[in-house]
A and B are shown apart, each in its own frame.
Chain A
Amino acid sequence: MGNTILEMRDITKEFSGVKALNGVSLTVEDDEIHALVGENGAGKSTLMNVLSGVYPHGTYGGAILFKGQECSFKDIKDSEKQGIVIIHQELALIPYLSIAENIFLGNEVHQGGIINWNKSIDKAAGLLKKVGLDENPTTLIGQIGVGKQQLVEIAKALSKDVKLLILDEPTAALNDEESQKLLSLLIDLKSHGVTSILISHKLNEVEQVADQITVIRDGQVIDTLVRGQDAFHEDEIIKCMVGREITDRWPERDTEVGDEVFRVEDWTVYHPVQDQRKIVNKASFNIKAGEVVGFAGLMGAGRTELAMSLFGKSYGSNHSGKIFKNGKEIVLNSVNQSIEEGVVYLTEDRKNYGLVLINDIKTNICLPNLKKISDRGILNLNEEIVQADDFRKKLALKCSGLNQHVENLSGGNQQKVVLSKWLMSEPDVLLLDEPTRGIDVGAKYEIYTIINQLAAQGKAVLMISSELPELLGMCDRIYVINEGEVAGCLNRKDASQESIMKTIMTHQKEIKSRKSL
């Protein structure tokens, strides 16, 4: 440490009159992990796009000094030549190519245009070792998990002699274990002369690994915290990020638990293609009116599959088991039937499963509810606007108008559109899958508030989340799901990160002993 590797001076970037960045200066030291935090839309990604040459020199104001030299990158290739590599949130890997092919894509090991595969694979194996990924370089990318793919991206960066690695939300889609592996890799790389800029919403991770934290809000640097000098405290960082004090990260709620609304008994689901493979095994759980119930579990525990299979059998095959609503058994054979019975599912992947991105807000909100705004199959387009506008107001949706395409909305507002969609169908049971994934702290709080309101209205709410603090803060009861089974149920007062992990571990041992029998 000590030398400055990167200095960005007074960076200003405008988009058709709107200043996305307003005089941002950022100094990154050699061999450090520099975290960049801020709400969605604060300008983090814009700043990194300026740095990596996505926005070429001349389209922004200010200067970039890399290793003491002023840079004027024309494109990404230019910045990569200098050793600046950016890994985007959405990975740029090709699923049908092998790990080795992906690593050297655009940078092939060749002689006179002919690829030397043996050398490529050998080199790739070396890189994989460096990032601690135990996979054959000829394995297809599509066959390994997101966590491992992330490591391949880093290996790819290393193959380009990276000096400064920029990671945009690298752990967003990873579970705790994978995230830890990635973070320790960053620390390891640091000692091998690779500096990292880490953009993340997960403040506990930032707190854990960063040497400096720069907080950006509304296109300006609010503060830079240095390890050893300043206290890295989550609450402190959040205060900087949102510009106001959030005393409670989870809004208060007086729970008035009523009668049981939703009960599932012995729900078993098989894999949609491999119909011998059980994905959900005899899961039983219930939700009472006014209750928020959580599903905790590791990635791949089967939580999403369980919820989706309940929602009109949208996942899996050979479903068996019983579903009860208000004590009466119901059958949910299709999505329509499920919506009619008042059981709805909010997807964890809003861009691919929740929204029609090219359509506007009102079309998206009304899509599952067209019967409500029509008469004998004929739509009342005016009623559509009235209904959609109602939800825009209720959920404080920030948009230029109901005709705005949802692809141009921020993550938090997109999530509000998906929520509106389901609220309009007037459900009794909401299965919310990662309702706050990839949205900023302020919007998260708003979503929590909405969830609490729903519970207060006597609706049964199920919340699936990979962020344990969120579950602990929001839920009255938490079911722990492991390997497609309900491993246990913890009450609010018994639930803690430790007790949840312990339940998973105990259950895993139980499964092992069952298998060995």
Chain B
Amino acid sequence: MNELASLFKSNMRKNGMVMALVFIMVLFQILTGGILFRSMNVNNLILQNAYVLILATGMLLCILTGNIDLSVGSVVAFVGAVAAIMMVDWGMPVGVTIFLALLIGIAIGAFHGYFIAYMHIPAFIVTLAGMLIWRGLTMVILKGQTKSPFEKSFQALAAGYLPGREVRIGQFNTLAIVLGLAVSVIFIFALFKSRRDKVKYNFEVPPFWAELLKIVFIVLAINALAFSLANYNGIPIVLILLAFLILLYTFITQKTIFGRHIYALGGNEKAAMLSGVKTQRVMFLVYTNMGLLSALAGIVVAGRLNAATPKAGNMFELDAIASCFIGGASASGGIGTIMGAIIGGLVMGVLNNGMSIMGVGVDWQQAIKGLVLLLAVVFDVSTKKKGLGN
């Protein structure tokens, strides 16, 4: 029993935000009278929040270095606008447009990164300048107007679904259910492989029942999501994109030398430098990557709205930054995870969505979101303090 209590305690600290997310979900499920978890709404939650989660992934890397990027909202608008002009005015094909849009994002990120990494201008200032520059240029090239509509295939990335919508078992989309089961199997397989490796090295492994509990919890969550989506239009393409990004960036941050170098740079730049970390290059790549992901988010946002507007992406940077901090990242750098940032983004997303369903006005929504951000960080700081005491 004691073991269980201590396990719960250590998990509370580690997974405090997961629990907070579950709590908020349950709370709004009740408050909205069951609307939150309806298939259509789950589907909407994903489509609505995809851009924040994409941005939060990149933003986390910036925050890990101890900085932030204020320009992402403006870059989202600018890339969307350029893509719109390429397609609507110049009639370029969708594939080429997306490719060029991503290249533009990389160039913008590299532009910021150059000043931050090699000229040692504080990131806050460089990206504040970027925020003004790209917002301004967006208005210049759009001449203050909205540009639309786009081809269906461009919208698909943001609002489309995997094919085979008509293949159904009863009322459920077959592909969604199959994918849910497949992901569950892969997850279980990966978990046991990691456990086997640890045993091979003679390391201590968590008790078997604890792993089993984890499996049950996560497999349930995956399949609940799959069934819910199967009940509606199937798997949104943007969900596949998101899952890919989350896996990729979790892998990069946790399992590669480059990821380790980002954490070291944020934890202590001087020590990292004297340990052979090419700190300038790491910083440059992190901001270049942020440009790339901003462009990707720009394409998703434009596709979802089916229009490029001068106001697109307004304040997105703050949503992304808030997601990271709610998810446990440290403002001074060196601490944070991709999963944390995603959970932080979901907390914000569920709050938004839940309150909208309840008919809470935008004014109150903002105030409440601000409070939640503050509370989340207070909670995080206080649990960490307790953690140090032990």
CA distance A347 to B201 in the complex (A): 33
Contact A374 B277 (CB under 8 A): no
Pick from A338, A339, A345, A354: contact of B271, CB below 8 A.
A354
Q: A-facing mask of B265-296, CB < 8 A → 1, else 0?
A: 00110111111111000000000000000000
Q: A367-B260, A370-B257, A377-B257 are in contact. Are A385 and B274 (CB under 8 A)?
A: no
| Chain A 449-491 interface 0/1 with B at a Cβ cutoff of 8 Å (1 = within) | 0000000000000000000000000000000000000000000
Q: How far is the CB of A340 from chain B (nearest CB, A)?
A: 9
Give the nearest-CB partner of A359 in chain B: B267
- The yes or no answer to A251 lying at the interface (CB within 8 A) is no
The answer to whether A336 and B276 have CB atoms under 8 Å apart is yes
B380 CB to closest chain A CB, in angstroms? 14
Interface residues in B, total, Cβ within 8 A? 31
B257→A356 contact, CB < 8 A: no
Measured between C-beta atoms, what is the minimum distance from B252 to chain A in Å? 10
Inter-chain contacts of A381 with B (CB < 8 A): 254-255
Q: Are B256 and A379 in contact (CB under 8 A)?
A: yes
- Shortest Cβ distance from residue B387 to the other chain A in the assembled complex, whole angstroms: 10
- Residue B367 interfacial (CB < 8 Å): no
Which interface residue of B260, B274, B335, B390 has the most chain A CB atoms within 10 A? B274
B389 close to A16 (CB less than 8 A):
yes
Residues on A with beta carbons closer than 8 Å to the beta carbon of B390? 16
Is B152 on the interface with A (CB-CB < 8 A)? no
Which chain B residue shows the least CB distance to A356? B267
CB-CB under 8 A for A335 and B275, given A374-B257, A378-B255: yes
B256:A358 contact, CB within 8 angstroms = no
A97 at the interface (CB under 8 A from B): no
A379: nearest chain-B partner, CB-CB: B255
> In the complex, A371→B277 CA distance in Å?
12
B89 CB-CB contact with A under 8 Å: no
B276 touches A379 (CB 8 A): no
Chain A residues lying within 8 Å of B38, measured Cβ to Cβ, are none
Asked if A382 lies at the interface with its beta carbon under 8 angstroms from chain B, I say yes
How far is A19 from B208 in the complex, measured between Cα atoms in Å? 36
**Which chain B residues border A352 with CB–CB below 8 Å?**
268, 270-271
How long is the Cα–Cα vector from A127 to B147 in the complex, in angstroms? 72
B-side contacts of A368, CB under 8 Å? 275-276
User: How many of chain A's residues have a CB under 8 angstroms from any CB in B?
Assistant: 34
- Nearest chain A residue, comparing its CB with the CB of B197: A382
Q: Is A505 an interface residue (CB 8 A)?
A: no
**Is A314's beta carbon under 8 Å from chain B?**
yes
Q: Tell me whether A356 and B268 are in contact (CB under 8 A).
A: yes
Give the complex CA separation of A386 and B273 in angstroms.
25
Q: Which B residues lie within 8 Å of A359 (CB)?
A: 263-264, 267, 334
Partner of B198, one of A312, A345, A382: A382
Q: A335-B275, A358-B334 are in contact. Are A353 and B255 (CB under 8 A)?
A: no
Does B217 sit within 8 A of A, measured CB to CB?
Answer: no
**Complex: A213 Cα to B257 Cα, angstroms:** 51
Q: Does residue A65 face the partner (Cβ distance < 8 Å to B)?
A: no
Give chain A residues whose Cβ lies under 8 Å from the Cβ of B5: none
Closest to A347 in B: B274
B interface footprint on A20-56 (CB within 8 Å = 1, 0 otherwise): 0000000000000000000000000000000000000
Query: Contacts A367-B264, A385-B201 known; A356 to B271 CB distance under 8 Å?
Result: yes
Nearest Cβ in chain B — how far from A424, in angstroms? 11
* CB proximity of B139 to chain A, nearest CB, Å: 40
Q: Which of B197, B257, B267 has a CB less than 8 Å from the CB of A379?
A: B257
- A421 within 8 Å of B by Cβ? yes
CA distance A421 to B258 in the complex (A): 18
Cβ contact within 8 Å between B201 and A386:
yes
Identity of the chain B residue whose Cβ is nearest the Cβ of A418 in the assembled complex: B271
Q: Give the shortest distance, in Å, between A257 (CB) and chain B (any CB).
A: 30
List 17 interface pairs A-B (beta carbons < 8 Å), by A numbering: A314-B274, A335-B276, A336-B278, A338-B276, A347-B274, A352-B268, A354-B271, A355-B271, A356-B267, A359-B264, A359-B267, A367-B272, A367-B277, A370-B257, A370-B261, A378-B257, A421-B275
Q: Which chain B residues have a beta carbon within 8 Å of chain A's beta carbons?
A: 197-198, 200-201, 203, 254-258, 260-261, 263-264, 267-268, 270-278, 330, 334-335, 388-390
